[in-house]
Amino acid sequence: MSDAERIRELISKMTLEEKVSQLSHASPAIERLGIPAYNWWSEGLHGVARAGLATVFPQAIGLGATFDDGFVRRVFDAVSDEARAKYNLATARDIRGQYQGLTYWTPNINIFRDPRWGRGQETYGEDPCLTERMGLAVTKGLQGEGSGGESDRLKLAACAKHYAVHSGPEKDRHTFDAVCSQKDLWETYLPAFRALAAAGVESFMGAYNRTLGEACNASKLLLKDILRGRWKFKGHVVSDCWAIKDFHDGHNITKTPEESVALAINSGCDLNCGSCYPALVPAVAQGLVEEKTIDESLTRLLETRFRLGQFDAAPGGKAQAAWDSLGAETVHSDAHVALALEAAQKSLVLLKNRNNILPIKNEKKKILVIGPAAANVHSIMGNYHGYSPRLVTILEGITAKLAEFPEITMDYHQGCMMYDENRNTGWTIGMAEQADLVIACFGLDNAMEGEEGDAIASSVKGDRDEIELPEWQLAYLRALSARGTPLVLVLTGGSPIAIPEDIAEAILFAWYPGEQGGTAVADVLFGKVSPSGKLPVTFPASTNQLPPYESYDMAGRTYRYMKDEPLWPFGFGLSYTKFRFDSVRVVESKLSSGPLCASPGTIPAPSVAATVEVAVTNAGTVDADEIVQLYVAKAKRDASDPVCSLRDFRRVSIPAGKTVTVRFALDRAAFVTVLASGEETVLPGTYRIIAGEAAPLPVSVAKGAAAPVSAEVTAE
């Protein structure tokens, strides 16, 4: 009997109440039908979260900074191994609670459009291309692409969230209407979601907010027209948690729970994370919902559970998948810890290195490690994290590294508080005068930014009013700098932090680097590893450069539309060597003008339009990785068009003194223009293909990036 036949048989035997019980995230067992209890809510943003022991990888924004989707795929192969192993262990003991299932509500592929958003750390940055590539890597790593032996079987079920046009403000997310133009919708907010739908992501999660007047979890435009219609999505849709309740309590688009649940399920929201869907029973009695609609949603949910193999052991089930044998030895294995270290090393971004003060050399000197982030585990974990017995803070990482540097001695003091301006310790500033080098560890932690309710030190429910370093931290840092001792600044956080660039001789941005973050920071500071991370988000010079937070208009936002000069540009990051971009050569061009898709907004067929080769030389003395970034810009653009757009990238290892040639095949979509109507088309004209190590803005070279090179192609 096929899965479809078994699902139809199960549903035919259920009462209405039993059917409805399976549409909430905590689905009870139906023992008479052999349906086990199942909790749909599990988290895996950067490792299995909230479920006990797990490997804690760098936060998503740090994984974005690696610009290495092949490596991120390996990370999530490991995450899904641990998730499957923990599920096997739990179900063997008949434990089926929250965070112990196989449906993982990740990745977050929202665009980090405004650095004040506390949950921006959960994303892969501000760029649609980078977000799409990272989202695809995460999805493939989680779902396993049928590698368990059955082509239709899933290792885990991934979830594209939060659909759509969602990025704060956190305090208003239960009432807010995100209004954007059709151009911004299709040019910025939807591309990653479309890519994951095309790649077979198993579920979508609706956002809390409204978009263009409709609640996202009941949007005719988003769910019916685009997701099910144009994109032909076959998986299931889940609401964000208690978002259905917002229909009548926040958005005021319905008056009763029955009206809310009817609106949601009639629009295609299959699963309710929350407590509202039991109201479907009276909603059917009131004629607001047809039972066949409930059957359709239940069918999609059972299809997911069957694809996860939860019914394979039952009579008529399929052969056991390979990952069903994963056990405790998989969770937080030495190999996964090593992978977490490599991920952290690749994520660190060197923003400044005056007079090559880094790496630190093994010579007689005294180092002062100081600052509220140095010994703070909350500065390495980020939100939605797991739990590890091997959390290495920055202080611990530096201390361990000194065993290899016997000429160096060290002192440490916290110096000032992370988020309490009234408890600075002024006398500790004098400790800088007794040192030969100060390593100052400042920035943010997960109590200062994050999701509403989690960031307990935030006065605006996880967001930030200002992107500057907290004023008491900055005052303390200025006082340290004024003592004249060379200062290396290590900043932690999940979002851009505006600081005076002259505050330190060197600046290293560490994000929330995960359980091995302290070791990775020390590896970079002391030269074991050359830094190779790149900024996945623009660092504005000040809050004053930002458009109103509540506005979803992309004008003035991100490197693609920003007019002001940022503090540091998208894609930027220094190395301990110097790279030179020698040339970009168009090997073949067959770019044609015209609409991108046969029908507007559908999934375009792949079509290589230009093949290019980029020659890059490591002109320094250190073997290192470089991120070759490829951008496309129209030679003649309208004011509303992006200045340029990242269209491909690749991490390559280049030995000192050597040149490598990297080949890229650019799809026709790389040259698309989104019109005011939302229609996507390749316009006739000339396009510049630009290769470099940062977004090709004037400020990039001024900050130390290699000069970009370019070539042209023409669409007839």
Tens-place pLDDT, residues 571-629: 999 999 999 999 999 999 999 999 999 999 999 999 999 999 999 999 999 999 999 99
> pLDDT digit string (tens) for 549-564?
999 999 999 999 999 9
pLDDT of residue 571: 98
The pLDDT value given to residue 318:
55
User: Helix, strand, coil % (nearest 5) of the chain?
Assistant: 35, 20, 45
Strands (E), 568-684: 579-589, 594-595, 608-618, 624-634, 645-654, 659-667, 673-674, 680-682
State the pLDDT at residue 486.
98
Residue 320's pLDDT band (boundaries 50, 70, 90)?
low
Using 50, 70 and 90 to split pLDDT, how confident is the model at 687? very high
| Lowest mean pLDDT, pick from 421-430, 610-619, 666-675 | 421-430
pLDDT tens-place string over residues 364-408: 999 999 999 999 999 999 999 999 999 999 999 999 999 999 999
Whether the pLDDT of residue 521 is over 80: the answer is yes
pLDDT band, very low/low/confident/very high, at 20 (cuts 50, 70, 90): very high
Tell me whether the omega of the peptide bond preceding residue 566 falls within 30 degrees of 0, making it cis: no
Across residues 519-524, what is the average pLDDT? 98
Cα–Cα distance, 134 to 137 (Å, whole number): 5
Does residue 317 have a pLDDT over 70? no
As a whole number, mean pLDDT of residues 481-496 equals 97
Q: Domain limits of the chain?
A: 1-35+158-186+201-307, 334-544, 579-715
Please, what CATH class does the domain formed by 1-35+158-186+201-307 belong to? alpha beta
Residues 6+ apart with CB under 8 A from 367: 360, 398, 408, 409, 410, 411, 435, 436, 437, 438, 439
In angstroms, what CA-CA distances link 372 with 141, 174, 409, 424, 479?
35, 34, 20, 10, 15
DSSP secondary structure of 572-588: --B-SS-EEEEEEEEEE
Q: Poorest-confidence range of 143-147, 238-242, 647-651, 669-673? A: 143-147
* Mean pLDDT computed over 492-505: 97
> For a pLDDT cut of 90, what percent of the chain falls above it?
95
Among the listed residues 513, 497, 491, 509, the one whose alpha carbon sits nearest the alpha carbon of residue 380: 513
Q: Residue 425 pLDDT more than 80?
A: no
- Over 70: is that where the pLDDT of 319 sits? no
Residue 421: is its pLDDT beyond 90? no
- Taking domain 579-715, whether its CATH number is 2.60.40.10 is answered by yes
Confidence check: pLDDT of 149 > 60: no
C-beta of residue 391 within 8 angstroms of C-beta of residue 377: yes
Per-residue confidence band for 702, with pLDDT thresholds at 50, 70 and 90: very high
pLDDT tens figures, 204-244: 999 999 999 999 999 999 999 999 999 999 999 999 999 99
**With pLDDT > 70 as the criterion, what percentage of the chain qualifies?**
97
Looking at residue 215, its amino acid is: A
Give me the pLDDT at residue 420, please: 76
Residue 456: which pLDDT band, with cuts at 50, 70 and 90?
Answer: very high
Helix segments in 348-470, DSSP class H: 378-381, 394-401
Mean pLDDT across 530-548: 98
- What pLDDT, on the 0 to 100 scale, is given for residue 314? 59
Rounded CA-CA distance 282/259 in Å is 10
- Give me the architecture of the 334-544 domain, per CATH: 3-Layer(aba) Sandwich (3.40)
Q: What pLDDT, on a 0 to 100 scale, did the predictor assign at position 536?
A: 99
The Cα 280–Cα 257 span in angstroms is 9
Active site residues: 240, 449
CA nearest to 110, candidates 149, 146, 64, 67: 64
Residue 696 has what pLDDT?
97
pLDDT score recorded for residue 424: 60
Please check the confidence at residue 111 and state whether its pLDDT lies above 60.
yes
241 half-sphere exposure, CB direction, 13 A CA radius = 10
Please give the pLDDT value at position 148. 42
Binned at pLDDT 50, 70 and 90, residue 301 comes out as: very high
Q: Dihedral of CA 133/134/135/136: which sign?
A: positive
Q: Which of 139-153, 424-438, 476-490, 614-628 has the lowest average pLDDT?
A: 139-153
Residue 338's H or E segment, with its range, is: helix 334-347
In tens, the pLDDT along 243-280 reads 999 999 999 999 999 999 999 999 999 999 999 999 99
Mean pLDDT for the stretch of residues 696-716? 96
pLDDT for the residue numbered 145? 73
Residue 636 contacts residue 699 (beta carbons within 8 Å): no
Average pLDDT over residues 154-161: 97
Say yes or no to pLDDT of 487 above 70: yes
How much is the pLDDT for 252? Answer: 97
Tokens of 679: 């229609």
Whether the per-residue pLDDT at 31 is higher than 80: the answer is yes
Q: What average pLDDT does the structure give for the chain?
A: 96
